[in-house]
Structure 1
Amino acid sequence: MANQEQQIIKHTYDTIVSQSESTQLLFQHAVLCQVYLPYRDPGKEVDSWVRQQGKAYFAIQATKVFNPQSERYDKLLGLPFGPKARLILTHINTLALLQRSPNLEVSDTITSFVKSLGLPNNGYQIDAIKNQLGRLAASMISIAFSPGENRSFQVDSKIIKGFDLWFPKNPNQRVLWDGNIVLSEDYFFSLMNHAVPLDKRHLAVFANNAMAIDIYTWLAQRLHRVSTQNSEFVHWVGLKEQFGEGYARMDHFKESFRSNLRLVLTQYSNAKIEEDLNKGFILKNSSPPIPPKTHQVLKIDKP
């Protein structure tokens, strides 16, 4: 294995965590807690998506996949979108951190996976999960973050490097994973150092709501980093740029954002965020959804 060293890392998943604790944890990449996938299907004619928020940058490009019927690379699945793509990523991220490997062993059925995400177990949900898995597997991403001081990191690769995209057409046939999912090493090593822990029970409440998931993950990675001495202020204009995909009018966006924020706060009750006279919101230092702990972990460096 690559060069390894013992380090104390805060808010990073540790395989020493007990099984009872780990079953309540999911993880998202820190950049994807600030910039997001589309809420809705952009359509097959849109094959790229670029977003920036502060010092976080994200781009995703749909690519053609091999069609075994035509024996050509001619099938464009489209960009991943919506709440299911977000939930799939958190599940895959968690497997990678738990197994500490980009080669994920997934001996489970699609049906069980749907249940683990807190979604109803029916044909519609299973088809939707398969569709989003295929879109994620067939997409190239670029993740970049600049923390300042002339430092930055960037990943240009696929998230899922290997996956069986073709499923049985017979609806009565038991649909199985192909045994493993292979993440790109660039994404895996980036995730190992930039994973944000989330409460699986909270995400289950937002399982059909992409904006609520995005607000929740944003607050999860943001609030605990706010200074204990000084609050931070975010304007409605900035919030609309970050969360307002598809909203032409500010009043419509405000109504939706407030409604989704109220939903998020029913779960993330420790979040200290207050609206300020219709100008925006005040953010105050808050403990993250997963109580802060410091774990002794084995950090894996890229070869």
Structure 2
Amino acid sequence: MGTIHQLVREHGREAARELVPEEDRRLVDLAAEILANPSSAFNITYSGFCLTALPHKALGDSAKWERQGHNVSLLIEPGSLPDGRGGFKQFGVPYGSRARLIMLYLQTRAIQTGCPEVELGGSMRDWMSRMGVPIGGSSYKVVRDQADRISACHLTFSWHGPDAGRGAKFSKESIVDGGIQLYEDDDAQPRLWVDTVRLSASFFKALREHPVPIWEPALKSISSRSMAIDLYVWLSYRLHSLSKPMPITWSALYAQFGAGYKNLFQFKPRLIESLKFVLAVYPDAKVTLEGDGVVLHHSPSPVPEKAPRGILR
């Protein structure tokens, strides 16, 4: 992938497009856009989400979600919200790229303000628009559904091994207190029923103690690809802290990122495709493909050095 960035630097975008196979021209476009982007904007996620992740596709409404990462386990349990008619409606576990973006927004704003209470309304809508997500029509319905799922679910992070001090153990802890409830007004324009939401105390505490910065322009470029988001977040967390090359087998990658794929041989080409997009938007990442998997090498953080000191962990 470094070759694509080198081609862009040496020959320019249009010439580089002619020097690669047709299926790689989109990667050249992404690489050129990233190399030309001077932004220092970044987002924040909790370190636990760098090693585990939400599902890519919908589960049954009553299905739990459990994933094993490096020294950490994640359990997400579905929950219920009031249905407005005196009863309750059950929502399944949040999934897909939109759920990931909502979670990133909530975590970023909480860290930026130093407060667990997060403003919604125009602030969230503007950020989602920057990510290329229109808040209207069918897209709005997807965002509303994922917001409900995040509001209803409960999660447990369990750290073990040498990383046991990296975060609190949540026991059926809500991500947010009070929920994120959306509605449409008489003009059919999306509005927010509540002006703010509050991250739960233990989740906010763990987030403040172990935030991981994610470069916003790169996130925007892969915002519709849930596996690419997971890989980018993972590499942003792992690469700059390595002291020596780290081989990761295909089996380990399948265990961490391959939920929803019945077999490794089905998962492998999808991961390679997603990894190409991630490396296109992370020019300094040093990741090599080997017969048994991938090898991670020490790389600079993707976030510009202008990020406030104390955030880069």
TM-score range (shorter-chain normalised) is 0.7 to 0.9
Could you tell me which residue of structure 2 aligns to residue 288 of structure 1?
Answer: 301
Q: Which amino acid aligns with 2:48?
A: V
Q: CA separation of 1:131/1:88 partners in 2, compared to 1, >3 Å: closer, same or farther? A: same
CA distance in 1, matches of 2:90, 2:246: 43
Question: SS at the partner of 1:155?
Answer: coil
Q: Which structure has more RCO (C-alpha within 8 Å, separation ≥ 6)?
A: 1
Could you tell me which residue of structure 2 aligns to residue 135 of structure 1?
Answer: 149
Could you tell me which residue of structure 2 aligns to residue 182 of structure 1?
Answer: 198
Structure 2 unaligned regions, length at least 5: 1-37
> Paired residue for 2:230, among 214, 230, 253?
214
* Equivalences for residues 26-65 of structure 1 within 5 A: 26-46=43-63, 48-65=64-81
Higher strand content, 1 or 2: 1
Structure 1 unaligned regions, length at least 5: 1-19, 299-303
After TM superposition, the score normalised by the length of structure 2 is 0.80
CA distance in 2, matches of 1:279, 1:163: 44
Confirm whether residue 250 of structure 1 aligns to residue 264 of structure 2. Answer: yes
**Percent same amino acid at aligned positions?**
26
Higher helix content, 1 or 2: 2
Could you tell me which residue of structure 1 aligns to residue 170 of structure 2?
Answer: 155
Could you tell me which residue of structure 1 aligns to residue 251 of structure 2?
Answer: 237
Could you tell me which residue of structure 2 aligns to residue 105 of structure 1?
Answer: 119
CA distance in 2, matches of 1:119, 1:172: 17
CA contact 1:109–1:177 (8 Å) conserved in 2: no
Provide, for residues 78-112 of structure 1, a one-character-per-residue CA deviation record: whole Å limited to 9, x for no partner.
Answer: 11000111111111101100110111233417643
CA distance in 1, matches of 2:264, 2:187: 44
Q: CA separation of 1:261/1:21 partners in 2, compared to 1, >3 Å: closer, same or farther? A: closer
Q: Cα RMSD over matched residues? A: 2.3
Q: CA deviation at 1:168?
A: 3.5
Q: CA deviation at 1:121?
A: 4.8
Q: CA deviation at 1:293?
A: 6.4
Confirm whether residue 279 of structure 1 aligns to residue 256 of structure 2. Answer: no
Q: CA deviation at 1:41?
A: 0.5
* Equivalences for residues 291-302 of structure 1 within 5 A: 291-292=304-305, 295=308
Q: CA deviation at 1:54?
A: 2.1
Q: CA separation of 1:151/1:175 partners in 2, compared to 1, >3 Å: closer, same or farther? A: closer
After TM superposition, the score normalised by the length of structure 1 is 0.82
Q: CA deviation at 1:62?
A: 1.0
Question: SS at the partner of 2:287?
Answer: strand
CA contact 1:198–1:220 (8 Å) conserved in 2: yes
Could you tell me which residue of structure 2 aligns to residue 13 of structure 1?
Answer: none
Confirm whether residue 88 of structure 1 aligns to residue 85 of structure 2. Answer: no
